[in-house]
Structure 1
Amino acid sequence: MIRSPRAWALEQNDRRTVFATGPEATMFAESRPFHVAQHRLPAWKAVLPIGGHAELLQPGRPLVAAPGLIVPPQLAHACAATSPYLALFIDSWRLPLCPSPVQLSVGEVRRLLAALGTMDAEGPDIGADLGAGYTELRTLTGRPSPLDPRVAHAVDLCTLRDPDLPIASIAAEVGLSAPRLRALVRQDVGIALARLRRWGRLRTAIADLRDSTAALAAASAGFADQAHLTRTARDFTGRTPASLKHWRRPDGGAGAAAPA
């Protein structure tokens, strides 16, 4: 599904939104402050404010505020940035396990933003270097432990190459039963294979919003319907696909613009 980098930019009035996704990372950026409701993302999230700070609130815990934050997978939290920002999403197995959020210094945020490149005062454009951003993030967190090759193949298929392939077929491809494959993925990655598949489909659907309705993007990504896509987006990101639509392109046309 996501075999090469895909990106779009949307603009309306004083707000600019940029989305890009590729094998190493997915990026979402906005040219104004934001706040999203509580959610649990099955991936790492680095929140990189441009001039402000990031805020994170976990149920029953004090607010955490820092120049930037790295949020581990599956952590229930609400999140905000007090300025334009960039959020970088990394698949859970691409960074070493860490149970708690990591606070970033101003210098670390600047290095991450510089690695992504193509940056101005309102954030990146669609040419951001996702691979370089991931590499710089890994210098801060360290290298992850290697996955079992069978698990690596399964999660690659489910999240990047073919989210529609039945899990039984993936298991047969790597010489395992479906229950054994699910158990190995949960053991090595810490997240259910079905949830990882939904994350892959969500990225595909958002990438398709460039020139599609939410309903068509949901269908093309393998969701049962638009409501299923919306529920997944709220669960994983704290916002809905509809919040990204009804914009004007930088050239004045309707909808999304500037494919990579």
Structure 2
Amino acid sequence: MQDSRDDQEHRQGDGSDSVHGTMIRSPRAWALEQNDRRIVFASGTEATMFAEFRPFRVTQHRLPAWKAVLPIGGHVELRQPGRPLVAASGLIVPPQLAHTCAATSPYIALFVDPWLLPCYPEPIRLAAGEVRRLLAALGTIDSDGPDAGVDLTAGYTELRTLAGCPSPLDPRVAHAVDLCTLRDPDMPITSIAIEVGLSAPRLRALVRQDVGITLTRLRRWGRLRTAIAALPDSTAALAAATAGFADQAHLARTARDFIGRTPASLRRAEA
């Protein structure tokens, strides 16, 4: 039986690039100006970026990707259940860490797929100089922040100098992740397993071993990025349908689970 949609981009280029054995679509980007608020989104071959030009706090969430929080002039605060507050000029947060997060100033959040950095169990504190290097690599050198032409490749390269280089993926895992998250998100996992020459249980186990996250959760993360890319020029319901979510409520639940905020908060000021 085919996997359910629960298990199972707007400005998008036609080409694709290869990164560590996975094919990732060309960059998508948008920028919005709303009164005194400016937000920028960009998604490319190595990273996805969301920049917001005001302080913001997100509720507890578990993101299936790396997140670098880079305040512009302030600091970031992270709290895990039952753990002391962590405050720093910037933070690199590992995948699947349950936490709340707040930036005390305008900030950039840089998201990197879990296989593109080496495994690390705890948040990595960044000194002010390291945050400045990352911002400069992205093309952000002052409080004006980035535009939609941000250099995500340079940002990822600088991030890798701080966090280290990842181990290469098993080619079968790389192909399965590509199919599941990008090229054919509706393809049943059993069919993906057949294509890479494995049983479905063996493929699931291999992905968990190499990536640390299930294929179904990685698929939902890919769909969330697709939905966010479509948000500025569509309703949340249409963005959900475009990305392959069952409905708008499914998109909202995924956004709260993965990034700790609603889709609406990504594109308009909240009271």
TM-score class, shorter: over 0.9
- Match of residue 96 from structure 1: 118
**Aligned counterpart for 2:200 among listed residues 178, 190, 195:** 178
Task: Check conservation: 1:56, 1:65, Cα contact below 8 A.
Answer: yes
Task: Check conservation: 1:119, 1:125, Cα contact below 8 A.
Answer: no
Inter-partner Cα distance in structure 2 for 1:160 and 1:24: 14
Inter-partner Cα distance in structure 1 for 2:39 and 2:214: 31
Q: Helix, strand or coil for the counterpart of 1:27?
A: strand
- Match of residue 67 from structure 1: 89
How far the C-alpha of 1:159 sits from its partner, in A, is 2.2
Q: Helix, strand or coil for the counterpart of 1:65?
A: strand
Q: 1:206 to 1:178 in 2, by over 3 A?
A: same
Spell out the pairing of 1:201-216 with structure 2 (5 A cutoff).
201-216=223-238
**Aligned counterpart for 1:161 among listed residues 168, 178, 183:** 183
Task: Check conservation: 2:28, 2:43, Cα contact below 8 A.
Answer: yes
Q: Helix, strand or coil for the counterpart of 1:8?
A: strand
Structure 2: 5+ residue stretches without partners: 1-8, 10-23
Deviations 1:94-152 (A, max 9, x none): 00000000000011001101111155413211000111111110011111111111001
Task: Check conservation: 1:25, 1:130, Cα contact below 8 A.
Answer: yes
- Match of residue 37 from structure 1: 59
- Match of residue 49 from structure 1: 71
**Aligned counterpart for 1:7 among listed residues 29, 41, 46:** 29
How many residues align? The count is: 247
Inter-partner Cα distance in structure 1 for 2:70 and 2:268: 26
Structure 1: 5+ residue stretches without partners: 248-260
Say whether 1:147 aligns with 2:169: yes
Task: Check conservation: 2:39, 2:53, Cα contact below 8 A.
Answer: yes
- Match of residue 104 from structure 2: 82
- Match of residue 231 from structure 1: 253
Moved over 6 A (4+): none
TM-score, scaled relative to structure 2? 0.88
**Aligned counterpart for 2:219 among listed residues 164, 183, 197:** 197
Task: Check conservation: 2:228, 2:239, Cα contact below 8 A.
Answer: yes
Task: Check conservation: 1:68, 1:103, Cα contact below 8 A.
Answer: yes
Q: 1:245 to 1:87 in 2, by over 3 A?
A: closer
Deviations 1:31-58 (A, max 9, x none): 1101000000000000000010010000
Inter-partner Cα distance in structure 2 for 1:42 and 1:197: 10
- Match of residue 251 from structure 1: none
Inter-partner Cα distance in structure 2 for 1:59 and 1:107: 29
Inter-partner Cα distance in structure 2 for 1:44 and 1:17: 20
Task: Check conservation: 2:47, 2:110, Cα contact below 8 A.
Answer: yes
Q: Helix, strand or coil for the counterpart of 1:235?
A: helix
Letter in 1 for 2:71: P
- Match of residue 24 from structure 1: 46
- Match of residue 113 from structure 1: 135
Inter-partner Cα distance in structure 2 for 1:188 and 1:8: 33
- What root-mean-square deviation, in Å, do the aligned CA atoms of Structure 1 and Structure 2 show? 1.2
Q: Helix, strand or coil for the counterpart of 1:123?
A: coil
Q: Between the two proteins, what is the percent identity of the paired residues?
A: 83
How far the C-alpha of 1:246 sits from its partner, in A, is 4.5
- Match of residue 241 from structure 2: 219
Inter-partner Cα distance in structure 1 for 2:187 and 2:234: 23
Task: Check conservation: 2:72, 2:142, Cα contact below 8 A.
Answer: no
